[in-house]
Each structure stands twice: as C-alpha cells, then as structure tokens.
C-alpha cells in the first residue's frame, strides 16, 4: 500500500471511529469494578417500582450532559462558590430529574468499588439499563470517562435543543457535535417513553408562534385531548405521556405517532411534518422497521456517548456526583 493510500485509510478510520473510541472501552471496569452494570441496573429496577418514568428521565440526563462540553457529568454538579449549576439553565430548569437515583447508584458503586466509577459513566450505564428494562435494545456501553471539575451554565442555556425549537436549529446543534440527521431522528426516538410537562408544549395548543391558533400539524382529536389535560393558564407542571400508545415501553410507536400527527412536542412533530426534510424518510423507515430503529438508536447512543470525554488524568472520579472532590456545601447563587 502506498503512503498516500495509507494516509487516506487512516483519515477514514479516524473519521468513522473517532479518537475517543480508542480511549473508551466496554471492559474498562472489568477488573476494578466488575459488577457495576448489575449494580446500576438493580438500583434502577428498584426505582421503577415507584416511578415508572424514571428510565426516561435517566436517559435524558445522559443526553443533556453530553450536549454541553461532552459526557463529563457536569450536569450533576450543584451550585458552589465557583460553579453555577447547569440544572438552572433554561432547558433544564424544573425539567431534568432523577438526580436522587443517580446519587443512590453512586452510593452503591462507592460501597462496592470506592473511588473507581465516574459519575459520567454512571449516566451512560444508566441510560442503557433504562432502555433495556423498558423493552428496548441492549448494547455494550463504552466506558472510561472521568468527571469534570466545573459546569457550563451558559453552554447549557445555548447548546441544548429545546422542545419548542424548529428543525433547522436542532439539526444545526446536532451537526455542531458531529451528530448526523440519522442520529437526530434515532435519539429523538427516546421520546417513545416518559412524560412531558404542559409548559413544554402548551405553545402548540392555543397560540402557536403568535398566530392565535393551535399548531396546524397537531391532530385535531389529539389537540382536544391535550387541551383537557393542559387548559389555558393552567398548571404548567402537569405531565402527560410522550407516547400516547405505549408510554412506558421502548418501541417504535413514537414514529407511528408522528405520522398520525400525534407527536407531543414541536421538536418531535417537525421531524415528520417539515416538508422536504431528510428526517421524513428516516421516520418512515423506523416506523416500518423497529429493528432498524433499535440498531440506529444503539449506534447513535454510542456516537453521543463519545462526545469529548475526559480520560486519562483529566478530570477526576467524584466521590459525590453533586460536587467536585474537596468542595464544601454552598447555599446558592443569586437569582438576579
């Protein structure tokens, strides 16, 4: 093989697999904490007994963590004298949840293998376990991430996709992280289980984009149902199912809902209702073939999980996911 051809092969390899794939691997804890996947799964199973939506909440934590400076556990940090928490950023405020379960997982992990398993890896393992326990696919989670020592409030406010955001903007946010349109559709398919609060979609029910009318892409009978659940000027924290057919099961019904104009969030329905968008064909493919959705979802989760991990000596292994090592308690930041 000529040197020029070898260079082309190397460029293609790096483009396809990324440098982070060489640093993360599925057997990272094989010797240091061999039971970590079982530990995580056990805590989630217990939590599911009283909170059937916790699996969807945990996968969302992993998503919202990875989209801001990579998968480094920064979302989990509370306010401190030097840190402004990402939890208070617009896309996360009064929305992300499941931190207590993450703390329970971390406690169990520390009891079994003190100082070994990072909070960032706990989120990645919890995401896979949550999908699997809900009837979705399983995969070998790549591990070896370390935890950040800081958070990025401004980044969380800017980079996370919004439920009321248009397809063009969301596609651009994915592309900025080297995630494709297929990744966008596949990862959106995680909305096949879980709940959403009224405030995340009420703009579609009464005064969409300042028109004084509902979103015309909403199925009329579904609109009537949602208006009963979320009356105008009502309680914005009331929750309803993201998937009205199989709300607690991980399957491909989400994509059938989009075809029937029964996507709950604007960001969901635009995947199918945006004329000429490349997402439409992908939605139809996943709607017809659950196996293809599952395969793409697994690959997209791996792709997302490889975003800028801290490895080697960078970062730390937090003993408490809520604060960096050596930090004390903190009252909070001013709301001004």
Establish whether 191 is an annotated binding residue.
Answer: yes
Crossing angle of the two packed helices 99-112 and 36-48, in degrees rounded to 10: 140
Establish whether 85 is an annotated binding residue.
Answer: no
- Under 8 Å between Cβ of 142 and 302: yes
Establish whether 234 is an annotated binding residue.
Answer: no
CA atoms within 13 A on the CB side of 94: 9
- CA-based radius of gyration for the chain: 20
Of 41, 53, 60, 64, catalytic:
64
The DSSP secondary structure of 30-81, one letter per residue, reads TTT-TTHHHHHHHHHHHHHTT-TTHHHHHHHHHHHHHTTTSSSSGGGPPP-S
CA atoms within 13 A on the CB side of 149: 7
Q: Which residue in 326, 328, 320, 324 sits closest to 105, CA to CA?
A: 320
Establish whether 65 is an annotated binding residue.
Answer: yes
Establish whether 74 is an annotated binding residue.
Answer: yes
Establish whether 243 is an annotated binding residue.
Answer: yes
Establish whether 52 is an annotated binding residue.
Answer: no
Establish whether 51 is an annotated binding residue.
Answer: no
Establish whether 117 is an annotated binding residue.
Answer: no
Establish whether 70 is an annotated binding residue.
Answer: yes
Sign of CA dihedral 86, 128, 252, 299: positive
Establish whether 78 is an annotated binding residue.
Answer: no
Verify whether residue 62 is a known catalytic residue: no
Quote the CA–CA distance of 107 and 111 in Å, as a whole number.
Answer: 6
- What stretch of H or E contains 197? strand 195-197
As to burial, measured by CB atoms within 10 angstroms (0-12 exposed, 13-18 middle, 19+ buried), residue 9 is exposed
Establish whether 161 is an annotated binding residue.
Answer: yes
List, by residue number, the catalytic residues.
Answer: 64
Annotated binding site: 65, 68, 70, 72, 74, 86, 161, 191-192, 243, 246, 251
Annotated binding site for Ca(2+): 65, 68, 70, 72, 74, 86, 192, 243, 246, 251
Annotated binding site for heme b: 191
């Amino acid at each position: 093989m000529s040197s020029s051809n070898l260079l082309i092969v190397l460029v293609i390899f790096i483009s396809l697999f990324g440098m982070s794939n060489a640093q993360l691997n599925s057997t990272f804890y094989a010797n240091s904490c061999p039971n970590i996947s079982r530990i995580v799964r056990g805590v989630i199973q217990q939590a599911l007994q009283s909170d059937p939506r916790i699996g969807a909440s945990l996968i969302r934590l992993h998503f919202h963590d990875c989209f801001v400076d990579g998968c480094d556990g920064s979302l989990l940090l509370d306010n401190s004298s030097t840190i402004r928490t990402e939890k208070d950023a617009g896309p996360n405020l009064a929305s992300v949840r499941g931190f207590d379960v993450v703390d329970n997982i971390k406690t169990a992990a520390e009891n079994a293998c003190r100082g070994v398993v990072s909070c960032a890896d706990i989120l990645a393992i919890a995401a896979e376990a949550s999908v699997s326990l809900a009837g979705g696919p399983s995969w070998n989670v790549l591990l070896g991430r370390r935890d950040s020592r800081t958070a990025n409030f401004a980044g969380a406010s800017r980079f996370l996709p919004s439920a009321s955001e248009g397809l063009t903007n969301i596609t651009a946010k994915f592309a900025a992280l080297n995630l494709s349109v297929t990744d966008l559709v596949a990862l959106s398919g995680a909305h096949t289980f879980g709940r959403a609060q009224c405030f995340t979609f009420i703009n579609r029910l009464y005064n969409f984009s300042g028109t004084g009318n509902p979103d015309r892409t909403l199925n009329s009978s579904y609109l009537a149902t949602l208006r009963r659940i979320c009356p105008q000027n009502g309680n914005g924290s009331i929750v309803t199912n993201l998937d009205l057919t199989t709300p607690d099961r991980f399957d491909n019904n989400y994509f059938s809902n989009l075809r029937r104009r029964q996507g709950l969030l604007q960001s969901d329905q635009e995947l199918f209702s945006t004329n000429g968008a490349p997402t439409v064909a992908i939605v139809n493919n996943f709607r017809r073939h659950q196996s293809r959705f599952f395969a793409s979802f697994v690959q997209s989760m791996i792709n997302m999980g490889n975003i800028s991990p801290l490895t080697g000596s960078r970062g730390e292994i937090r003993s408490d996911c809520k604060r960096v090592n050596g930090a004390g308690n903190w009252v909070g930041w001013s709301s001004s």
